[in-house]
Amino acid sequence: MASKLSQGDSLEETRQSLSAAAQALVGVQGEISSLTATELEGLENKRSSASGESELGSLAPLLEHARLHLSNNKGEECPVCGQAVNRIELLKKVETELSTLKSYRDLVEQISEQSRKWGDIWKRFVSSVKQAVTALSLEVIEDLPNVPQSPPGTDILFLPQISEKEFCTTLLVVRPTVILNWCNETTEATLAVINARIDGLPDVKSVGELRTFADAVRVLSDCRESVLSNQHTRDSATELLAFLENVHDAIRTSRQDVAQQILDEIAEKVAHYYDVIHPESDEREVTRGPKLKVQRHGGGTAFLRGEFGQKSVSDPKWVYSDGHLDTVGICVFLALRRYRAKDEKDARLMILDDVVLSVDLGHARRLIHLLRDEFKDHQLLIFTHNGLFARWCLGLMSGLKKLDVVGWTLEGGPRISDYCSCIDRLRKRMEDAPPKEIAMNLMWMMDEWLAESRFVFSLSVPAKLGEEYTLTEIWEPFGKVMRDFSKQFGDELIGVSQLMDSLRDLPRIRNSLAAHENDFAQEFPRKTIAEIAQSAITLIESLYCLKCHTFASPIPNRHQPQLMTCRCEALRYIKPAKPPKESKDGQEAQIAAEPQPNKPR
């Protein structure tokens, strides 16, 4: 207030500017009220009707023809065309058409006169609006609250060089009623803001404040009865407010009850889905499915509660790992999707994009089972950069159409091709690709294949965030297990042992050729890289069945294997029986049965 009072003359200039703008708007508001939109629209409708009834374009030739007929009032034959004419009928027709033409011209003149009147008032309206915009320090009048946007098509009306014909045409196209309503609403809203702005300006002199106070006292005295009446109204309104608050509380409680019922249903699904991915029977799992709880006060916020070691946890982030938290998020999403799918009009379409970035791959397999069993009625679009997860999806979810997104641009969108397995992709590169490209595809294939072998053969590798293992970190434990299998299975796995020896340079290939752009990258000739790639493919085909897409897994376990077989038994290796031991009396022990070795089919 003090800063405004200290402005002195500028404060008065602002007041004067606002007052002048208000007066201009009030003046133009009176002129606008004199306009009648229906009159102009009625004239235009009559003009259009007259134009439709009389083909004005043909009046000139007709009247000229008639003039030539009538100029020679002798005889009943046309001096132009030579045809017989009836002068009396022709005169009547000419008079009728002339009357129509005169009415049309009168209507056009009336429209032009009304349009000029509108144009003059419009110019003063635009001028007063610009004055108000300047006084209020605005860019455009639409910046004010409650001021509607100008009707579509009126932009040309604001041009300073607009002609009368253009103004009239635009006015009739947009419709005078629309423009008149917009002018009235704009004027009223602008006047309200200006008046409020003027009322908010403080007086510079204290005399003005005293006068204002005296006026307020006088008004209060004059309106005493009204004030008392308003007090009674306020008391009634207070009682009504208390009643409405009770109704509001009842509605809020009911809404929270309904929300809790819905969330209970969703939470039940969340817990079920979570238990599928993290089964309670697994002794390594100490977390349980989360619960959703609605806060009964305030805005009715829903909170997520966890469970760790049979103890309730207020915030799962305290004890859940990133992988488990991601699983919680996925389960909540799937539960919401399942709930919305109850709607008969629901599309039942679900798009999953890289949902296993931080979810352990062991849990990812259970997620695939969950999607397969719980969302059979949905169309699924699953995008992933994880080749192993993609291969699991293909093996565990029948009926999937397999596609590769080989690239995309903002202009052209994605480029789609048929799905190609990492082995097939490597075989194609081996035909004509340079050694570096062959090696890169070789590493991608081995990364994907070794990642799954870690689970099948229970490889001893340290836990890593995101399971981002290097080839060396898995290759060495894998080689150790394969050498152990070769010792136990003998000739059955001698080929695997030889292949492991031929692939001993795999880590060095990754470091020198496929992983870096170095000058010594051509250290490995193309023939050598192709031979190593073929050995890697042969190794995979010896341990991984391309028919059923499963490994030749050790049975009953890795430490005491008696048999290694895939699901369809196309790959089957039998551990040979131990040689017979000599008894104390020098006799050989008898072998009950001798197994028949089975090579890869």
Q: Which two tokens stand for residue 528?
A: 């050598």
Q: Which helix (H) or strand (E) holds 382?
A: strand 379-383
The structural domains of the chain, with segments of one domain joined by +, span 6-202, 240-340, 345-419, 422-574
| pTM for the structure as a whole | 0.42
Q: Three-state DSSP class for 21? A: helix
Cβ contact 418:402 at 8 Å: yes
Domain 345-419 in CATH 3.40.50.300? The answer is yes
| Whole-number pLDDT of residue 429 | 85
For 317-325, the CB contacts below 8 A with 24+ separation are 319/287, 320/287, 322/358, 322/465, 323/358, 323/359, 323/360, 323/363, 324/278, 324/287
Could you give the CA distance from residue 130 to residue 194 in angstroms, rounded to a whole number? Answer: 13
| Whole-number pLDDT of residue 43 | 53
Q: Which two tokens stand for residue 350?
A: 């679900």
| Whole-number pLDDT of residue 592 | 39
Could you give the CA distance from residue 484 to residue 503 in angstroms, rounded to a whole number? Answer: 17
Distance linking the first and last C-alpha atoms of the chain: 95
Q: Which two tokens stand for residue 550?
A: 């499963």
Name which of 359, 278, 362 is nearest 322 in CA terms: 359
The residues of the chain scoring below 70 in pLDDT are 1-11, 35-83, 85-88, 90-91, 94-95, 97-108, 110, 114, 202-211, 214, 283-284, 294-300, 357-362, 464-468, 510-524, 579-601
Q: How many angstroms separate the Cα of 509 from the Cα of each of 77, 391, 479, 518, 520? A: 112, 25, 17, 12, 11
Could you give the CA distance from residue 288 to residue 277 in angstroms, rounded to a whole number? Answer: 10
Cβ contact 480:452 at 8 Å: no
pLDDT digits (tens, 9 = 90+) for 358-390: 666 668 888 888 899 999 899 998 888 777 777
Could you give the CA distance from residue 323 to residue 381 in angstroms, rounded to a whole number? Answer: 22
Q: Which two tokens stand for residue 600?
A: 């890869």
| Whole-number pLDDT of residue 4 | 42
Could you give the CA distance from residue 433 to residue 515 in angstroms, rounded to a whole number? Answer: 17
Could you give the CA distance from residue 11 to residue 198 in angstroms, rounded to a whole number? Answer: 10
37-53 vs 176-200: helix axis angle to the nearest 10?
A: 160
